[in-house]
Amino acid sequence: MEFIRGLNNVKPQHNGCVLTIGKFDGVHKGHQAVLKNVIDKAAALSLPATVMVFEPQPEEFFVPTKAPARLSPLRDKYEQLKEQGVNRLLAVSFNADFASQSADEFVQHWLVQKLGVKFLVVGDDFRFGKNRAGDFAMLQAAGKQYGFEVVSTQSFRMHEHRISSTAVREALQDSDFKLAEEMLGRPFAIQGRVVHGEKKGRTIGFPTANVMLKRCRAPLHGVFAVRVDIDGTFYKGVANIGTRPTLNGVRNQLEVHIFDLKSDLYGKPIKVMPVAKIRDEQKFASFEALKIQIQRDADQARACF
């Protein structure tokens, strides 16, 4: 799958496509139904099936503290869309300049002149352009004027319409990981490369693999029994997702203690899948109290398996 980062990297060879625009957060089964139809339409027209997403997502740009928790950072989204068979991913940099352009400019300059859209799929609630002036009806009118068809994702989603990113987030918040998996079509996972931490865990016999969470908000918080995929081999463990208040942490990160593994994981990509929630994250009076609780968490996590 070709990846285009930023509209400034759209080249003449990218003119002509079947395009869908959206967040595609989680690339759940509802999204997958839309994408299958987009890909089928693109094949019928002998054009690349192209997905346009915004980074950051508009809510993350305008109101980052209130933006929905991200299910899929861009790297994960790339892999998930590639797996579905999408030909091209265009990640538009959502910034003040982009947000200030008019809806007409977006349609004429980008959709028509640069991308040469022949078939467009968007949600019927899609709004775009300065002051959110552009809407679905405007796109349909533009399609008639410039010769491209516009359809709603709802008409492409069919029986999967009840599945949404919001529903997946709610399932995760309820620790209903089976329901989340059913909606996603795969287990929910947080993945990333292991980075160096403060190494406090190893001093008490609980070394952790640390992954920084590159999202405004994480969809999970607390302590969980987890499965960990390392190079295709699965391990069991216990993980904390949060800011580590006892250690006065401020940045969201994932810390996972992998049972019965002593390998050096620094720099390695890992995939962590929650199995059961053990407790909420909390601040303890001392590091010694935290140590006692970590042992209890580990024992409880082992019991989950």
Q: Please give the Cα distance from 141 to 279 (Å, whole number).
A: 52
Please tell me the predicted confidence (pLDDT) of residue 157.
57
pLDDT confidence tier of residue 263, bands split at 50, 70 and 90 = confident
Over 70: is that where the pLDDT of 153 sits?
A: yes
Q: Domain boundary at 107, 134, 167, which? A: 167
Over 80: is that where the pLDDT of 163 sits?
A: yes
Please tell me the predicted confidence (pLDDT) of residue 162.
72
Please tell me the predicted confidence (pLDDT) of residue 253.
87
Please tell me the predicted confidence (pLDDT) of residue 155.
61
Over 80: is that where the pLDDT of 2 sits?
A: yes
Angle between helices 165-173 and 177-184 (to 10 degrees): 160
Average pLDDT over residues 149-162: 70
- Both 285 and 232 in one domain: the answer is yes
Give the CATH number for residue 54: 3.40.50.620
Q: Is residue 71 included in any domain, yes or no?
A: yes
- Number of compact structural domains in the chain: 2
Q: 51: Cβ–Cβ under 8 A, 6 or more apart, which residues? A: 19, 20, 21, 22, 24, 35, 38, 81, 86, 88, 89, 90
Please tell me the predicted confidence (pLDDT) of residue 283.
82
- Both 144 and 249 in one domain: the answer is no
Domain ranges, residue 278: 189-304
More confident residue, 63 or 286: 63
Over 70: is that where the pLDDT of 201 sits?
A: no
Q: Domain boundary at 133, 167, 201, which? A: 167
pLDDT confidence tier of residue 218, bands split at 50, 70 and 90 = confident
Q: Is residue 175 included in any domain, yes or no?
A: no
- Both 35 and 144 in one domain: the answer is yes
What mean pLDDT is reported for the chain?
90
Please tell me the predicted confidence (pLDDT) of residue 247.
55
- pTM beyond 0.75: the answer is yes
Q: What angle do CA 114, 30, 253 make, to 5 degrees?
A: 85
